[in-house]
Amino acid sequence: MENILKQLPQKAKEAEPENKKFFSKLKKKPPKHLDSLMQELHEEEFQRTDCLTCANCCKTTGPLVTDKDIERISKHFRMKPQQFIETYLRIDEDKDYVLQSVPCTFLGADNYCSIYEVRPKACREFPHTDRKKFQQISNLTMQNVAICPAAFNIVEEMKRLLNK
Ligand code: SF4
Ligand code: SF4
């Protein structure tokens, strides 16, 4: 996995022109079965890829943290929401709460998330490859393929299947 992660930014850069073309076509005319295809590709890929050998998302990009996340996680720590915010969060340029630092404070040396059961919604949903109307998040996906090896493989497989 270490090698895969090392090569990923370069591979994503090389795939970018093709990905741009592919997603622009996909946005104009998404196939009717896209939602079910994404479910399938996502499940197949995550049977092969074990996030515990990777954790690159937790190491390199923090999630956006919503008010609901703050409520749930601060309760878990028996902290007041304000205290949780002051200890772990900052406001970014889009005025959203994000983590003060990456790698994420809650990531263990064994790649386990210490707040897994109550982790932010964005962590639960990353890399969003099983979401409905996948064509609507193509810009985000093009960024994610440089971080997430599973997302990279899923996009490559989409291109293989849909570019026929
Ligand atoms: S979601 Fe992607 S980047 Fe995050 S741990 Fe799993 S494979 Fe790695
Ligand atoms: S909260 Fe957990 S899942 Fe989310 S970035 Fe931190 S370690 Fe990863």
Average pLDDT by consecutive 10-residue portion of the chain (164 residues)? 94 96 93 94 96 96 95 97 96 94 95 97 96 93 96 96 83
Q: 75: domain range?
A: 64-118
pLDDT at 163: 83
Looking at the fold, whether 51 and 76 belong to one and the same domain comes out as: no
76 and 111 both lie in a single domain: yes
Q: Indicate whether 9 belongs to any domain.
A: no
Its pTM stands at 0.92
98 and 52 share one domain: no
Same domain for 79 and 45: no
**Is the CB of 123 within 6 Å of ligand 2?**
yes
Shared-domain flag, residues 54 and 131? yes
User: Is residue 5 in some structural domain?
Assistant: no
79 and 107 together in one domain: yes
CB 127 less than 6 A from any atom of ligand 2: no
* pLDDT, tens digit, 9 for 90 and up, residues 110-143: 999 999 999 999 999 999 999 999 999 999 999 9
The number of the ligand nearest the C-alpha atom of 62 reads 2
From 148, 153, 154, mutation site for ligand 1 pocket: most ligand atoms within 8 A of C-beta = 148
> Does 71 share its domain with 92?
yes
Q: Atom 5 of ligand 2 has which residue's CA nearest to it?
A: 58
- Cβ neighbours for 46, distance < 8 A, ≥ 6 positions apart: 150
Q: Is residue 3 part of a domain?
A: no
Count of domains for the chain: 2
Whether residues 28 and 54 share a domain: the answer is yes
Q: Is 113 in the pocket of ligand 2 (CB under 6 A)?
A: yes
pLDDT > 90: percent of the chain: 96
C-alpha 15 to ligand 2 mean position (Å): 28
Residues 114 and 136 in one domain: no
6 located within any domain: no
pLDDT of residue 128: 96
Supply the pLDDT for residue 164.
Answer: 67
